[in-house]
């Protein structure tokens, strides 16, 4: 079965805002075996919205409208969909009562424009909205002579998600042939996209029944594997088998096989080993600590660190001798090593991790170009230093450098 998703709202046609609800809906629909074949974004114009609705009902089996269900003059989805289907709107007394109660509970008097939220397309089932005033609507049956499912959902993401999960999923499942989706997500670091694809394409191409999607970011490749079958076991065993073969080929470049982030993985390993971590970072400027502490509960293994942006702080917080900086420069293997060892000693952590480099756009030289970064990891067993030259702009270089630093901890603890 296939679907069209229509996002409604003039703000979605400005340079500032983007529909993101459709990513969520696509995931849910895909899991049910429904393929999204069109996404349409249309403004708050009754005529254009009616046209888009007619077209969608003619070309897709499931049509989902998002937004335009509120109380204002701009909210025209109910009217436009009714027009497109040639159906009437009727005011639902139960919704009117519930709207009145909603306002009364807050001690407010309801403005009359709210009443339009009680208008229901003839034949539609009302989907109560626990998180907002505008209910959704569900229709299924023959429209324009074709079997269709038509759903109207509110635009605010938390309303849309709750309503879809609680009231649409089961209804959709009942309408669809039973189908099961197996899926896996692998994350890979330390490999370029084309180098990665070159190695794994001969493997995943043999699995014609598994859909493989490759997404690349700064030093992180995501591989999404998906397979459909008539039982969950059958579907999952195919993606698991392929995932295993890809992991065999790529070895420890695969850092996650369940979608977890690098910072989560590093956290798991540290907790497992009862170890703690402290960081001293220069060019990443706090990003490394920020990524580690973005994980809830990270205080169990992360003691903290120092953002030693100035040379003086490299000495004050990480005990880097001023002469060492003088001699080798702040961006050097020697200073990276001293930073990692110094922050480990000062913090008492099991591991000391450091980053120093040139993030740009200025500050580069022939010897030390923009993108040159040194990373060091100090432990009981000594200190290892990794030198890398990253491509891209300041933001990308900082992201690459934080990923490389975290990956050193992962590899150490693996």
Q: Which of residues 2-21 bind a second copy (CB under 8 A)?
A: 11-18, 20
- Yes or no: say if 295 and 264 are a contact pair by the CB < 8 Å rule: yes
Considering only residues 340 through 359, tell me which ones interact with a second copy, judged by CB under 8 A.
346-348
Task: Please identify, among the stretches 28-36, 103-111, 150-158, 371-379, the one whose residues bind a second copy according to the rule CB under 8 A.
Answer: 28-36
- List all residues 6 or more positions away from 381 whose beta carbon is below 8 Å from its beta carbon: none
Angle between helix 232-250 and helix 193-204 axes, rounded to 10 deg: 130
At its nearest, how many Å lie between a second copy and the CB of residue 130? 19
At its nearest, how many Å lie between a second copy and the CB of residue 2? 10
At residue 307, the 3 state secondary structure works out as strand
For residue 357, list its beta bridge partners.
373
Helix locations, 139-188, DSSP H: 157-163, 169-175
Task: Please identify, among the stretches 121-129, 200-208, 278-286, 384-392, the one whose residues bind a second copy according to the rule CB under 8 A.
Answer: 278-286
Q: Using CB under 8 A, pick the residue from 1, 33, 39, 90 that binds a second copy.
A: 39
- Yes or no: say if 330 and 282 are a contact pair by the CB < 8 Å rule: yes
Q: What whole-number distance in Å separates Cα of residue 141 and Cα of residue 123? A: 9
- List all residues 6 or more positions away from 360 whose beta carbon is below 8 Å from its beta carbon: 370, 371, 393, 394, 397
Q: Among residues 139 and 308, whose Cβ is nearest to a second copy?
A: 308
For residue 61, list its beta bridge partners.
none
At its nearest, how many Å lie between a second copy and the CB of residue 310? 4
- List all residues 6 or more positions away from 3 whose beta carbon is below 8 Å from its beta carbon: 29, 34, 35, 36, 37, 60, 61, 62, 63, 64
Q: Which burial class, exposed, middle or buried, applies to 312 when counting CB atoms under 10 A from its CB (0-12, 13-18, 19+)?
A: exposed
Q: What whole-number distance in Å separates Cα of residue 24 and Cα of residue 20? A: 7
Q: Among residues 101 and 213, whose Cβ is nearest to a second copy?
A: 213
Structure tokens at 318: 């990480």
Q: Does 50 bind a second copy (CB under 8 A)?
A: no
Residue 68 to residues 83, 117, 217, 231, Cα–Cα distance (Å): 15, 10, 35, 38
Q: Does 279 bind a second copy (CB under 8 A)?
A: yes
Sign of CA dihedral 9, 12, 16, 21: positive
Task: Please identify, among the stretches 43-51, 140-148, 153-161, 235-243, the one whose residues bind a second copy according to the rule CB under 8 A.
Answer: 43-51
Considering only residues 216 through 235, tell me which ones interact with a second copy, judged by CB under 8 A.
222, 224
How many residues belong to the site for a second copy (CB under 8 A)? 73
Q: In the stretch 190-219, what mask flags binding to a second copy with x, by CB under 8 A? A: -----------------------x-x----
Q: What is the Rg, in whole angstroms, of the alpha carbon atoms belonging to the chain?
A: 28
Q: Does 108 bind a second copy (CB under 8 A)?
A: no
Q: Among residues 129 and 356, whose Cβ is nearest to a second copy?
A: 356
Q: Using CB under 8 A, pick the residue from 71, 123, 285, 364 that binds a second copy.
A: 285
Q: Among residues 125 and 271, whose Cβ is nearest to a second copy?
A: 271
Q: Does 36 bind a second copy (CB under 8 A)?
A: yes
Q: Does 54 bind a second copy (CB under 8 A)?
A: no
Q: In the stretch 288-327, what mask flags binding to a second copy with x, by CB under 8 A? A: xxxxxxx-xxxx--xxxxxxxxx-xx--xx----------
Q: Does 162 bind a second copy (CB under 8 A)?
A: no
At its nearest, how many Å lie between a second copy and the CB of residue 307? 4
Q: Among residues 15 and 177, whose Cβ is nearest to a second copy?
A: 15
Q: Among residues 38 and 268, whose Cβ is nearest to a second copy?
A: 38
């Amino acid at each position: 079965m296939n679907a069209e998703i229509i996002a409604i709202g003039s703000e979605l046609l400005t340079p500032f805002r983007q529909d993101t609800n459709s990513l969520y809906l696509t995931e849910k629909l895909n899991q049910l075996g429904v393929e999204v074949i069109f996404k349409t974004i249309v403004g708050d114009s009754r005529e254009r919205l009616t046209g888009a609705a007619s077209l969608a009902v003619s070309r897709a089996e499931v049509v989902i409208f998002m937004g335009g269900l509120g109380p204002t003059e701009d909210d025209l989805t109910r009217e436009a969909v009714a027009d497109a289907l040639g159906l009437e709107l009727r005011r639902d007394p139960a919704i009117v009562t519930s709207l009145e109660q909603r306002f009364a509970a807050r001690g407010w008097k309801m403005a009359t424009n709210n009443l339009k939220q009680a208008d229901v397309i003839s034949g539609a089932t009302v989907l109560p909205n626990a998180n907002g005033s505008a209910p959704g609507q569900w229709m299924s049956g023959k429209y324009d002579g074709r079997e269709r499912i038509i759903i109207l959902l509110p635009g605010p993401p938390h309303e849309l998600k709750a309503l879809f999960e609680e009231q649409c999923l089961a209804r959709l499942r009942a309408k669809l042939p039973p189908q099961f989706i197996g899926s896996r997500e692998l994350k890979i670091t330390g490999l370029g996209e084309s180098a990665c694809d070159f190695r794994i394409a001969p493997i995943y191409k043999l699995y014609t029944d598994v859909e493989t999607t490759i997404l690349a970011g700064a030093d992180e490749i995501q591989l999404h594997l998906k397979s459909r079958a008539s039982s969950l076991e059958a579907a999952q065993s195919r993606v698991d088998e392929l995932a295993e073969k890809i992991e065999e080929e790529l070895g420890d470049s695969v850092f996650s096989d369940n979608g977890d982030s690098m910072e989560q993985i590093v956290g798991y390993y540290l907790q497992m080993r009862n170890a703690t971590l402290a960081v001293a970072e220069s060019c990443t400027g706090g990003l490394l600590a920020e990524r580690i502490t973005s994980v809830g509960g990270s205080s169990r293994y992360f003691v903290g660190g120092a953002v030693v942006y100035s040379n003086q702080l490299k000495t004050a917080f990480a005990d880097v001798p001023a002469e060492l900086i003088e001699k080798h420069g702040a961006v050097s293997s020697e200073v990276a090593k001293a930073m990692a060892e110094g922050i480990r000693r000062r913090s008492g952590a099991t591991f000391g991790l450091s980053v120093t480099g040139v993030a740009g756009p200025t500050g580069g030289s022939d010897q030390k170009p923009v993108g040159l970064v040194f990373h060091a990891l100090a432990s009981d067993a000594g200190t290892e230093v990794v030198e890398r030259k990253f491509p891209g702009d300041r933001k990308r270089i900082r992201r690459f450098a934080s990923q490389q630093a975290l990956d050193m901890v992962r590899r150490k603890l693996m």
